[in-house]
A and B are shown apart, each in its own frame.
Chain A
Amino acid sequence: MHSLAKDKEGPRVMYPITFFIVTTALLFVFGLVALTIKRDLVRLLIGIEILFNAANLFFVALSTQHVGMIDPLPQSIVMMALVLDGTVIAVGLALALNVFKHYKTFDIRKLRRLKW
C-alpha cells in the first residue's frame, strides 16, 4: 500500500465522466440485448451481471467527479450493492442447477410450457 502512496498521480486523477457514461450505456445495451435474445439460463444470468456492472461503474465514476475529491458515500453503497447483486446471481444459479437436474438442459426453448 505504501509504495502506492508515493504515486503522485494516484487517486487524484479525474477522468471525464463522458468515458463512463458511454461505457455504461454500451454495457446496458449488451445486457438488455442478451436478456431479450438469449434462451440459455446461464447466459441470461451473465447478462444480468453485466447490467449490475454497468450501474456500479456509473455510481463509482460519480464519486470521483470533483477534481481531487473523493466521496465515500457512493463507494460504500457500491460495496454493499456488490454483495446484494452477488446473492441474486447465486440464487439464480441455484435455480438453474435445479432446472438442469430435472431436465438435463439449460435451454428455455426446449422446455417452454408456460404461455405468455
Chain B
Amino acid sequence: MKFQNGAGELHDCRDAFTSMLEAMAERDPDIVAVCNDSVGSSKLVGFRERWPERLINVGIAEQNLVGVGAGLANGGKLPFVCAAACFLTGRALEQIKADVAYSNTNVKLCGISSGMAYGELGPTHHSTEDFAWVRAIPNIAVVAPADRIETAAATAWAAAYNGPVFLRISRVGVPDLFTESHKFELGRADMLRDGKDLTIIANGTLTHRAVCAAEILNAGGIGARVVNMASVRPIDEDAIVSAASDTGAILTCEEHTIFGGLGSAVAEVVVENVPVPLKRLGVPGIFVPTGSANFLLDEFGMSPDGIAESAIELLRKKA
C-alpha cells in the first residue's frame, strides 16, 4: 500500500463519486440515478444533462425513493439511489430493511454529505446514526471511503457487486490518502502505516486525521498503526484481531455517534477475541452544538492533537 502523507489539497468526495458514476453509466445503459430532488447536492447535474431519462427524480419523498430503487432493480436496472445520508437512512430505514436488504435487491444506496457535513444546519441534517442503523440490518454492505480515490474505487466496486450496498459519501474536503491503483475490497481493511504501541482505526473523514495524529505520536516516540476501515459491515475481523494482538491498544475515530458505529463494531470484535484497552472517539451521544463539521470534530477530541492525546491516555491503561 503506497501511502501519501495526510497533507495537501482538499477534495470533495462527491465529485469523485459522480465522475465514476458517469464513467460507468456511459458503458452500462442499465445504470440509473434516483434522487429525492437532491440533483445539486448529490452532484447529479452532469448526469441529468447527459442522460435526462435515466435521472429519476421522485421529489421530496424518501420512502418512495428507496422503494422505487428496489423496483427499478427488480426491472433489470442498476439504481444508484442518492440522497442526503440523514434523510436516506432516517426517513427510509424500513424501506432499506424490507425492500432492499431483506428482498435482496441490487440497489446502491448513496448517503451523500454524511456525518456532520451540513455542520451549522444542525443535528436534523447530520447523519451520525447511519452506521448503527444500517449495520444492524442483515445483507447490506456498509462502506465509508476515506478520500476521493477510495470513493471512486468503492463506487466502481458497488456497481460490480451484486447486492445491497450503503455507500457513505462526505462533502467535507479531505486530502488524497491512497494512490490511483487503490482497489476497494469489501470486508478488507487497509493498514496505512504500522506501529507497535497502539492502533488507530478510522474511516471516512477521520482517516486523514488519524494519519496526522500518528505522525504527531511518532515524533514523540510512540508507534501508532493506522488502519482504514472503510468496510464497516462486513468488518475485517482479522485486521482488528491482529491490531489488538500486535499493538495491545485500540483507538477508534469516526464522524458518527460512538453508540453503535465503527467504534462499537471494532469493540465487539476486540472484546470477543483479544480484550485490550480500547477507546472510542466520535460524537459523544449528544445533539451537537452549532459549528462546521471540522469544528465539531475538533470539539469532540478528533483534531490530530486531540486524537494523539487520547492515544497517550489510552497507553497508560496498557498493562
The answer to whether A and B assemble together is no
Interface residues in chain A, defined as those with a beta carbon under 8 Å from any beta carbon in chain B: none
